Amino acid sequence: MAGAHGNVLVHVLDDERSAAAALAAILVEAVEAGASIGLSGGSTPIAAYERVAALEGDWGDATVWLVDERCVPPDDPHSNERLVREAVLERVIVPPVFQGVWTPGLDPAAMADRYDALLRAEGVPELVVLGVGGDGHTASLFPSSPSLDASDRLAVATKAGMDPRIDRVTMTLAAIARADRVVFLATGAGKAEPVRRAFKEPPSPATPSSLARSAAGTTTVLLDRAAATLL
């Protein structure tokens, strides 16, 4: 199983807004340091991304990657590129270098090969932002998926998920492990059970969030009280 299990620091914030503010503070510092940053999709981090764009307009020295993507064009409602464009790239004065996954004319496997090669050439992001799905998934690494075993890859194509009709490309556990800092954001009562499995129980492929850790750096978990009730 790819991925090491380094130190995990859990922070429980008062509410969803404070948890988003805590992520925003980490991101502002990273943007100002000109870091490379991997952003996840989902609904939870959007407020934090928008806050960072409002607080820091100059992202010119930073590079933004997508932790995962659905293989749909950027105008599709399911596209994480669209989410990041709307929450960050279209709001800031000086945009970062943006490394998206979607490439017209390539099938999902070829998009994954291209992203894998790009990550090898440029290095994985120093900071990786992750969410926790209701089933314990993170990125597009779903419970007991073969993608969890892709230890020789930094990005893979995957079909698993709540909507298997949509192909996806995801960074692997091996890529996430190379990040200096991994930061999870999870809020709301619906996340209490997967958060318990991810951060209190022994690591298991049944809960991919329990396997996604920085190997040599830090893994920080930002929760609101509701998501932390079972810890």
Query: Which CB atom, from 60 or from 219, has the smaller least distance to ligand 6PG?
Result: 219
* Structure tokens, 226: 């509701």
Handedness of CA 20, 86, 93, 124 (dihedral sign): positive
- Considering only the C-alpha atoms of the chain, give the largest distance between any 2 of them, rounded to a whole number of Å: 46
**Residue 67 contacts ligand 6PG per CB under 6 A:** yes
Q: In this structure, are strands 36-39 and 127-130 parallel, antiparallel, or unpaired?
A: parallel
82 binds ligand 6PG (CB under 6 A): no
133 binds ligand 6PG (CB under 6 A): yes
**Binding segment toward ligand 6PG, per CB under 6 A, in 96-104, 110-118, 137-145, 194-202:** 137-145
Considering only residues 35, 101, 139, 221, which one is a binding residue for ligand 6PG as defined by CB under 6 A?
A: 139
Other Cβ atoms less than 10 A from the Cβ of 126: the count is 20
Judged by CB under 6 A, which stretch of 47-55, 92-100, 134-142, 221-229 contacts ligand 6PG?
134-142
DSSP result, 70-112: ESS-TTSTT-HHHHHIIIIITT-SBPPEEE-S--TT--HHHHH
State which of positions 16-55 bind ligand 6PG (CB under 6 A): 40-44
Distance CA 126, CA 38 (A): 8
- Asked if 131 is part of the footprint of ligand 6PG (rule: CB under 6 A), the reply reads yes
Residue 126 touching ligand 6PG (CB under 6 A): no
Q: How far is CA 68 from the centre of its chain?
A: 7
Report the residue number, 60 or 71, with the smaller CB distance to ligand 6PG.
71
Q: Is 161 in the site for ligand 6PG (CB under 6 A)?
A: no
